[in-house]
Every structure is written in C-alpha cells, then in structure tokens.
Structure 1
C-alpha cells in the first residue's frame, strides 16, 4: 500500500469523496489553510492563547474540506485533473504509471513544499514576516508544481484505464 493511499484513508477518501474533492472549490479553498495557520500563530502576542482557535479551525477545514463539496459539474479543469492525478499516483502499486512519471520529481517537489512549511514555522517563532512570506510561497510553489505534474500524469493515464477515463466528464 502506498503512503499516499494511507493518507487518503486518513481523510476518508473513498470513490465518492475523491470525486467531491475533485471539485475545484475544494482544491482552491485548501490553499487558505497555511496562511490562516501562520496568521493565527503570528497573532499570539495580540490575542494570546486565543490564537489556537483560528489554527484549529484551519486544521479542521483541511481535514473536512475534501468531503464538504459536491461532485463537480465537470472534471475537465486543472484542479479536478490534479486531484484525479493524485488518485492515479496513489494507485501506482495496482496500475503501473509510465516511466517518465517514476522520476524522483514528486519527492523533490514535496520536499520543497515541506521546507517551505519548516521555514514558515521558524519565521513564525522569530516573527520574521519575510520568512513567513518566503516559506508560504515556497510551500505553495512546491505544492502547485506537484499538482501540475499530477495533471500531466492523469492526462497520460486516462486512456489506459476505463476507470480513469470515467472520472473525466
């Protein structure tokens, strides 16, 4: 079982919920999580322990977001294809993906995103506005590039599997 599949189970991403998560509103609104968490902890000197509240709300939003939206009217858009590509990628132990998509780029992009999160945490601790901006930007650069690669993967795989093809409508 791939690590991605374990994460999908944690977020309760079954067939129906994957399609709900493929709603572009689900994809784009998840981009709000890191800045809200950063701002919440940044505000700890102004509002004290109350800073935990917006951080908890943002984390709950991240967890619940994939299942809160309805199935999209169409999946022929970048955000939906990114989610469907993630689904293809986590299934790579059952359906082999092309060699071009087996490069370490996915790990590199996730590492870039992780470094951005670590930089953001450090910057929040030391109150470095530029560090937070750089960290969030780096995190989103890695994540968005990763999602773009997932779109490419889905485009390459949708004609290989009837199941994958059925996701696009």
Structure 2
C-alpha cells in the first residue's frame, strides 16, 4: 500500500505549494467527495452513453485540481490541516522514521479500505445502487479513519523535525 500512496502522490504532482494549499479545510473536506464523484461519473454511462468518459475525465481533473484550488489557510490549527501534515509525514517515512504503531495501523486501515473497492466497482458495473452505496461507505469510513490517524501521527511527530514544527505556524509549540 505504501507504494500505491507514493505512486498516487507522484501522479498528483504534489509540490510544496500544493501541499500548503491542500492544508485548507475546504480542500480536505471536499476531497472526501472524490470517490462518490468518480462513482457517479462511471454510473453516468447509463444516462449519457459514451460521453460518460467526459464525466470521468472531469472527475479525475477535480481530483487533481482540488489540492491546488483553495488558498493556503491562515489558521492551520484544525483537524483538516493536520490530516495533510500527517499524510506528508507518512509518505516520507523513508526519510523520517515513524513509530511502528502508526505504520501497522495505517497499513491495516489501507487494506480495510481497499477491501471495499471491489464491492464498489462491482456495484457500479452491475448498476446496483445498494451495493455501490455499501462499497462507497466502506471505502470512505476507512479513509476517514486513516485521515484521523494522520492527525495523531502529526501530533506525535510535530516536534521531531524542524520542518514539521513550522507547519502549524505560531502554534507549533502548543
């Protein structure tokens, strides 16, 4: 799963400016809509035929645009901003060692989230709204739990690296 996270980060082309903007709570909370939006775009094949690829392309563009769309937040002492800080730490675990208890639970949460993907894909394939909702709910519950774990990771590690200490701005020593 870590390889998938790294691939995803490279595909998203997240640079320092993107990460700063993604720390905006609007970016984080609207990012939770990505799975339902992509699911709806794929489902739209029943309504708009081959043009559903346009909807899929727009959904994927939204996924890329989201971390760049909102301004860097003034106040970063909030759950959503700390999700992005923890995610950055997690993705950089080769550069900075993170506690094993975080690595284990994060991997478990990623696997549990991935278990819902085949259910979601099957629901979309057979156009069963309840299976699609179940798959979406499954993926999103574990995604949210993972996000919450990223906050915990950041709070535990924020004073272990001079860069991490700067992310909360003037609140970094609270």
Structure 1 residues 59-68 or 136-145, which shifts more? 59-68
Q: CA deviation at 1:112?
A: 2.0
Structure 2 alignment gaps of length 5 or more: 170-174
Residues 55 and 7 (structure 1), Cα distance of their counterparts in 2 relative to 1, 3 Å cut: closer
Structure 1 residue 53 displacement after superposition:
1.9
CA drift at 1:43: 2.8
Verify the 8 A CA contact 1:36 1:54 in the aligned structure 2.
no
Secondary structure at 1:92 match in 2: coil
Aligned to 2:87: 86
CA contact (8 A) 1:21 1:65 kept: yes
Following TM superposition, by how much is the alpha carbon of 1:6 offset from its aligned partner in structure 2, in angstroms? Answer: 4.4
1:67 corresponds to which residue?
68
* Number of residue pairs matched by the alignment: 167
1:1-169 alignment runs, 5 A limit: 3=3, 4-103=5-104, 105-169=105-169
Q: Distance in 2 between matches of 1:34 and 1:110?
A: 15
Give the aligned CA root-mean-square deviation in angstroms: 1.6
How high is the TM-score relative to the length of structure 2?
Answer: 0.88
